[in-house]
Amino acid sequence: MITPMELFIKKMQDLLQPGKVYRMDGSQEEAERLTNLAQESEVDGRIVLKKLNAQEYPNSYYHRSNPNDVARTEHLTFVCTPTKEQAGPNNNWLEPGAAKEKMMRLLKDAMKGRTMYVIPFVMGTPQSRYAKNCVQVTDSVYVALSMRVMSRVGKQAVERIGNSSDFFRGVHSIGDVNPDRRFIMHFPQENLVMSFGSGYGGNALLGKKCYSLRIGSYLGYQEGWLAEHMIIIGVQAPDGKVTYFLGAFPSACGKTNLALLEPVLKGYKVWTMGDDIAWVNVGEDGQLYAINPEAGFFGVAPGTGANTNPVMMKTLKNDKFFPTLFTNTAVDNSNNTPWWEGVSKEVPSDLTDWQGQKYDKNSSKPAAHPNSRFTVSIYNCPTLSSEYDNPRGVPISGIIFGGRRRSTIPLVYEAKNWNAGVFTASIIGSETTAASTGQVGAVRRDPMAMLPFCGYNMGDYFRHWLDMGKKVKNPPKIFMVNWFRKDEDGKFMWPGFRDNSRIIKWMIDRVEGKAGVVESEIGLFPEDNAIDLNGLDIKKETMAKLLRVDKEDWKKEIVMIEEFYAKFGDKIPKELNNCLAELKNKLGM
């Protein structure tokens, strides 16, 4: 009898008609073979990989994509649930039958003359009961190699799947990289994603946003857990105790920098568990535990440098696990290294820009694409937590939410309880960034930083969050932060980066009951002098401005929140409507 996995592979072969089928085993030898192959292969008119200077960046390769394919395309991303209401106003929706027909037409014979890579993979440590089994097929060797870095590819996945039909199915073809024929279709009820026409990370590495967040969030809703767009860090205090936090921020808001932080505060250390996705479960002891389903970082290159993220710079130069890929950065021809804005102050004189053109230093455009990325194994990270592969995950004491806001949102505050925290997270707004195509810098609501990633109706998602709080014995404290508040002159008031550890230290003090708070209209604020500013040159007035609740700004905020909530009609849980009414009342509205 044919196993469900073999049946899926056969069906894909029949549909896609590849010239060859290659099954990935996840070995080092295979990685060498495929990187060699990719250096000789042309896709979409470009050599797939070019080897970079191995002295500077061992086992690293450069990839340049089609300029029309450099970010997630949210307008081409669909959640295909039986009813439109199940997908909610937060998703583009298509009826599953129609969506599948459309995709079948695009995928039919799509791999003629190409190789179909069959990628069995596990999201999460294979030993974990929270881990999930997956199979993706793709015709992109770049995607196949990226999946090797971002997930656990190979034997263990095949063994875990065995005769079971319980595994995620992903179909991906890069097609002809035509934005008019580009779709990313999710079928949560079938544990299936079909993706066509893009080779970009979030569109093509189906284990990442597509499975671990969109399908994952739906599975979590069904099964009683949460799939979140969150970093996981362990913060070690001078006494040696490690406190674990989750942190949710929209794409390109400094999540990766926070996940690999070198605190300025003496005696503190951050241990990295993950920089993008967390799966959160209630453990047998009633506490909240988190695992990182991924095995690598797919990080934004621009802004990453020895000052902003020294740990990532070290990670990128390790090759314990390989390959490391650089996509759409510039290249410094003097020494064949990847280059991006922020990696050095000096702009090298002989640069090729991300589109393959000689870079003109006097041009106002950046040499690297603002959403250029590196793909690197988490095992190369020198601050990797010793708990990373713990099948149980790590116990969570605090959840940090954030956004990118030049005004209104204070540097930090705490929600007074779980439900108030869910409310605070549900009203997050953030300025859009280059991680998704579309306007950059406009404020949009991005609850829990999950707006583009929640695979079902966000009203139901809020209800699920509230219900999770009831299941947890000691719900973690919930904090809101904004590193990006600006003064009248448009300058950032908070230094950010390593100094963010000062705020986290305060959070640890709160978790341990060592720091008091002052209550305001929107939540609980640090008492005077509770934030350790030792060694930081910041004026008292600036701190006051950073922490100020500006009622007039908040009244404008309320209008945007109500507009957003209105889209969900009576799906917004009454607990959240009550929080909103209470806040309006406090603001005198």
Binding partner of residue 217 among ligand SAT, Mn ion, none, CB under 5 to 8 Å per kind?
A: none
Candidate list 86, 191, 243, 251; residue touching Mn ion; CB under 5 A: 251
Q: Binding partner of residue 182 among Mn ion, ligand SAT, none, CB under 5 to 8 Å per kind?
A: none
Q: Which two tokens stand for residue 373?
A: 């990325």
Please, which residue, 73 or 501, has the CB nearer to ligand SAT? 73
DSSP collapsed to 3 states, 493-561: CCCCHHHHHHHHHHHHHHHCCCCCEEECCCCEEECCCCCCCCCCCCCHHHHHHHHCCCHHHHHHHHHHH
**Please, which residue, 148 or 209, has the CB nearer to ligand SAT?**
209
Q: Are 193 and 185 in contact (CB under 8 A)?
A: yes
With CB under 5 to 8 Å by kind, the binding choice for 423 among ligand SAT, Mn ion, none is none
Q: Compare residues 400 and 435 and give the one whose CB is closer to ligand SAT.
A: 435
> Other CB atoms closer than 10 Å to residue 335's CB: what's the count?
13
Number of residues that bind Mn ion (CB under 5 A): 2
Q: Please choose which of Mn ion, ligand SAT, none residue 202 contacts, taking the beta carbon within 5 to 8 angstroms, the exact cut-off set by kind.
A: ligand SAT
- Closest to 407 (Cα-Cα) out of 255, 555, 589: 555
The least CB distance from residue 345 to ligand SAT, in Å, is 27
Contact set with ligand SAT (CB under 6 A):
72, 201-202, 208-209, 251, 298, 435
Contact partners, residue 542, CB within 8 Å, separation at least 6: 487, 493
Cβ-based nearer residue to Mn ion, 128 or 256: 256
Cβ 292 to ligand SAT shortest distance, Å: 14
Report the residue from 139, 228, 275, 276 that binds Mn ion according to the rule CB under 5 A: 276
Minimum CB separation of residue 32 from ligand SAT in Å reads: 26
- Two tokens, residue 522: 């929107």
- Pick between residue 298 and residue 418 the one whose CB is nearest to ligand SAT: 298
Which residue stretch of 95-103, 116-124, 269-277, 546-554 sits at the interface with Mn ion (rule: CB under 5 A)?
269-277
Q: Using the rule CB under 5 A, give the single segment among 26-34, 188-196, 217-225, 248-256 that binds Mn ion.
A: 248-256
For residue 431, give the nearest of 410, 411, 455, 449 by alpha carbon: 449
Active-site residue, selected from the candidate residues 134, 253, 381, 579: 253
What are the tokens at 430?
A: 């953030």
Nearer to ligand SAT, 304 or 419 (CB): 304
Supply the DSSP string of 564-578, one letter for each residue.
HHHTTGGGS-HHHHH
How far are the Cα atoms of 319, 419, 465, 524 from residue 462, in angstroms, in the given order? 41, 10, 5, 22
Give the three-state DSSP class for 583: helix
Shorter beta-carbon distance to ligand SAT: residue 120 or 202: 202
Q: Which is nearer to ligand SAT, 248 or 543 (CB)?
A: 248
**Residue closer to ligand SAT (CB basis): 208 or 369:** 208
Residue 208 binds: one of Mn ion, ligand SAT, none (C-beta under 5 to 8 A by kind): ligand SAT
379 DSSP assignment: G
Distance CA 457, CA 88 (A): 4
Binding region for Mn ion (CB under 5 A) out of 152-160, 270-278, 374-382, 392-400: 270-278
Query: Dihedral of CA 453/457/462/466: which sign?
Result: negative
Distance CA 196, CA 258 (A): 33
- Fill in the DSSP letter of residue 475: P
- Residue with the CB atom nearest ligand SAT in the bound state: 202
**Backbone phi, then psi, for 145, in 5-degree steps?**
-70, -35
Smallest gap from Cβ 229 to ligand SAT, in A, equals 8
Q: Which stretch binds Mn ion (CB under 5 A): 186-194, 243-251, 377-385, 525-533?
A: 243-251
Taking the complex as a whole, the smallest distance from the CB of residue 71 to ligand SAT amounts, in Å, to 7
**Contact predicate 214/79, CB 8 Å:** yes
Sign of the CA dihedral with 299 first, then 301, 306, and 307 last: negative
Task: Indicate which of Mn ion, ligand SAT, none lies near residue 510 (CB less than 5 to 8 Å, by partner kind).
Answer: none
- Shortest CB 251 distance to Mn ion, Å: 4
Distance CA 331, CA 368 (A): 8
Is residue 128 involved in binding Mn ion (CB under 5 A)?
no
Active-site residue flag, 253? yes
What is the DSSP track for 334-373? TTTEEE-BTTBSSPPSSEE-TTSSBP-TT-SS-SS-TT-E
H helices within 46-95, ranges in order?
84-87
Q: 28-40 vs 141-150: helix axis angle to the nearest 10? A: 150
| Alpha carbon distance 194, 138 (integer Å) | 10
CB of 452 to ligand SAT, least distance (A): 8
In the complex, the smallest distance separating the C-beta of residue 77 from Mn ion, rounded to whole angstroms, is 14
Q: How far is the CB of 90 from Mn ion (least distance, A)?
A: 16
Q: Which residues does the annotation mark as catalytic?
A: 253
Binding site for Mn ion (CB under 5 A): 251, 276
